[in-house]
Amino acid sequence: MKKHKFKTSQEAYDGLNKYFFTQEFNIVRRGGGRYGGQMVAYNQFVIIEKAWVNPKFDFGNTFGYRKQKWSGLLNNYIDKEALTDLKNRIKIRENKKGRNYNESMVFYNKHGHGKNCLLSLTCSRRQHNKQPIISFNLRSSEITKRLLMDLLLIQRISELLYPDAEYVSLNMFVVNMYQNAEAFTMFDTWKPIKDFIKNGTTLSPWQGKVLQTLKKFKTVNIDLITMKVHKRCVRQLQRPEGIPLSGDRPMLTKELIL
């Protein structure tokens, strides 16, 4: 198992994307590898000190997402009765003198298209931790387009369950985590991908693949692109007047509530 530690959810998102892009050798050494257009790693354990996603992160500007993406995530994974039951159980345990407990909830998967990526979470109070901890499990996670929204969902759940806590810590276990070369190019609109590479270093095969794809998507005539998922990347990366071809429709983290 590979263990990562980060201060915030946002730092985890940035750091994991950097890890996949820069640590091809280590990922392969640990049993992962490059399969087609994906870099895959298994059994990733991520410790996050504070559940916090930058409230100014713009899912619309970065990935072309619309508000329906967030509402669809909620409708697919959140069972209101189950979440209310968990909140009530935690409230009872919080009011007791000995606050040492573990209370769990299974994520819903109503529509099927979610593919059961989010599985379950457990809320804990531990004797030597001042802040509550939420541990959650994922069957699989695409780390560029999807991971940050999942982390935001857990943050919103933590704010509902622990409204008086200074912050909530997270433990995330992912069975299968992967970076898609085409999707990762859109990360460049958030932070320049080339900044992850030290000057003078030899590119790994994965880095070469990503940078070649990035250059193509930034310069290609979009009418020559046939795959819809690739066109989506081109629409976000090409900004002739500072606005992506997909249009300027902001979708800020601070607007996405539970």
Q: Which residues contact 12 (CB under 8 A, 6 or more apart)?
A: 4, 6, 46, 48, 151, 172
In the chain the first and final C-alpha atoms are separated, in Å, by 32
Using DSSP's 3-state secondary structure scheme, residue 74 falls into helix
d(CA 99, CA 124): 9
Give the pLDDT of residue 113.
Answer: 56
Q: What would the two tokens of residue 127 be?
A: 């004797």
Output the pLDDT for position 115. 67
What is the pairing mode between strands 33-35 and 101-106?
unpaired
Determine the pLDDT at residue 170: 98
Domains observed in the chain: 2-255 (3.30.572)
Give the pLDDT score at 79: 93
Q: What is the pLDDT along the chain (258 residues), one digit of tens a residue?
A: 999 999 999 999 999 999 999 999 999 999 999 998 999 999 999 999 999 999 999 999 999 999 999 999 999 999 999 999 999 999 999 998 778 999 999 998 876 555 689 999 999 999 888 999 999 999 999 999 999 999 999 999 999 999 999 999 999 999 999 999 999 999 999 999 999 998 878 999 999 999 999 999 999 999 999 999 999 999 999 999 899 999 999 999 999 999
- Note the pLDDT of residue 88: 97
Give the count of beta carbons closer than 10 Å to the beta carbon of residue 221: 8
Q: Residue 50, SS3?
A: strand
Helices (H), the chain: 9-22, 24-29, 59-63, 67-77, 80-94, 147-161, 181-184, 205-219, 228-237
